Amino acid sequence: MTLPTKFPKDFKFGTATAAYQIEGSKTLDGRGFSTWDAIRSEYGRIRDNSNPELSCESRLKYKEDVELLAKIGVTSYRFSISWSRILPNGTLSEISEDGIQYYRDLCLLLRDNQIEPIVTLFHFDMPLAIYDNGTSWLNKQNCDHFADFADLCFQKFGDLVKTWITYNEINMQAWSSVVKLEGEQWLCPDRPQIENHQHAPYIAAANMLIAHAKIYRNYEKNYKETQNGIIGITNGGHFCIPASDSPEDKEASDRALNWLFTCTLDPILSDSGDFPVSMRQKLPFLPKFSDEEKKMIRGSLDFLGINYYLSHSVRGITDDETPNSQSERDGSYSLVEGKWEKICGETWIRYAPDGLLMLLKYVKEKYNNIPLLITENGCPDYVRKEGEAEKTVEEILNDKHRIKYISGHLEVVAKALESGCNVIGYTVWSLMDNFEWDDGFELRFGLCRVDFDSPEKTRTMKQSAMFYQKFIREFKKHHHLL
């Protein structure tokens, strides 16, 4: 039995993008200014110093991009709806009918090509007016505006979209995109420091969990019976492994897993309906959910999305040691370089499919084998060391390391299915090279190369796209889906 034939007939094989990372056309449809428009206008914020106007221009080229998806043969396409393109001010005070029509046209075209749209409602691009209204998710009114946006999306797209994701990497959003924190990624506009800023990620996480639950319950009450869709949330999948067999490292690894993964899942999926115990013990200021909020949050998931790129090796710290990041300091652990291969050169990515298998089994045991969709998995083009010659276009297109990365992770997903893990799909990040947040266009994750120097932003399938195309074709042939 070949690898593609080990997956069930209804398994989703897809690829993914996010609105801000590919769309461009930042004023078309009356689109409003977003946090990332602001960040890109701040000097020195983007590593490659790329032009803030540079983009894949997928808003204008979406028909060509759907053709590319159909050519690869994916059964699903995960993309996000830009809050700013639908609600330019972030609120229902102004609604862009042109923006709504664009996303309807995209969904209809996907349906015509037998590709299921999987829609993320929030993928890091918040309307700037909302961010500055009491600092992002720290203001509960902003959470209510997001719930209004979600409700509008259910009204306008629910006949076409049956799989929804509220937040992309809710854990990452809380730590990186609300306020600037020492040692953490900085993915929000430059603003003066707020009072008790070190409490911000925990307050934001609590507020987002409540907003997610409100959105879920609204869909459950008002839309599910007629639209028959499902709603999930995507978490960054960081499995943590002790650096040694010492009790100190094992305990530190458990705490790291709480801080990096389970903190935004336990309130939804555990019987307690609360943050992990280790966090309650260490953080006296940690927000408390009311009994009513716990009831609303608990069970507010039809499936769990996981973005997986690497695992972490973790050790304990001594009393006189101060780790680099706030999350490590708060949780009393330290992330150290593990055994895994740097498959794409000098980047943060590691080739750790074994960690994915452990994570899938962990979710199965801890969270009652909830349906699990791998919403992102992938790696960038090889990043050369200083002094190495630049890769030619031909070498970039011949991305054997990415084929190894994808196939290695598909192998462990097949093993997870054999062991009873309820995995419902696998999604490659990304369809095409795009704007990779603070890295700009320096890291290019695409199955397809984008020539950013060409007027047409020409797309070309890399060898990995052809590998995935062949893999999916064999899967479809096996299940008589062609």
For residues 122 and 69, give the distance between their C-alpha atoms in angstroms, rounded to a whole number. 22
The answer for residues whose C-beta is within 8 angstroms of residue 46's C-beta and 6 or more apart is 39, 40, 52, 438, 439, 440
Residue 319: the pLDDT is 84
Report the candidate in 279, 252, 250, 260 with the shortest Cα–Cα distance to residue 333.
252
Domain count, the chain: 1
The Cβ of residue 27 has, within 10 Å, a number of other Cβ atoms equal to: 10
Q: Any idea what the CATH number is for the domain that residue 8 is in?
A: 3.20.20.80
DSSP characters over 31-87: PPPBHHHHHHHSTT-STT---TT----HHHHHHHHHHHHHHHT-SEEEEE--HHHHS
Residue 384: per-residue pLDDT? 84
Determine the straight-line distance between the first and last CA of the chain, rounded to whole angstroms.
Answer: 19
Q: Is 164 helix (H, G, I), strand (E, B) or coil?
A: strand
What whole-number distance in Å separates Cα of residue 144 and Cα of residue 344?
41
Find the catalytic residue in 23, 184, 376, 436.
Answer: 376
Catalytic residue among 169, 184, 293, 328: 169
Q: Residue 124 has what pLDDT?
A: 96
Structure tokens given for 345: 């050169």
Q: List CB contacts of 44: < 8 A, sequence separation 6 or more.
A: none
Full residue range of the structural domain in which residue 396 is found: 3-478
User: The dihedral of CA 214, 220, 221, 224: what is its sign?
Assistant: positive
Tell me the β-bridge partners of 251: none
The per-residue pLDDT for 386 is: 78
The per-residue pLDDT for 170 is 97
Q: Is 376 a catalytic residue?
A: yes
- pLDDT score of 44: 96
Low-confidence ranges of the chain (pLDDT < 70): none
Has 169 been annotated as catalytic?
yes
Q: How far apart are CA 329 and CA 325, in angstroms?
A: 6
Instruction: Please report, rounded to a whole number, the percentage of residues in the chain having pLDDT higher than 90.
Output: 96
CB atoms within 10 A of CB 303: 20
Confirm whether pTM is higher than 0.85. Answer: yes
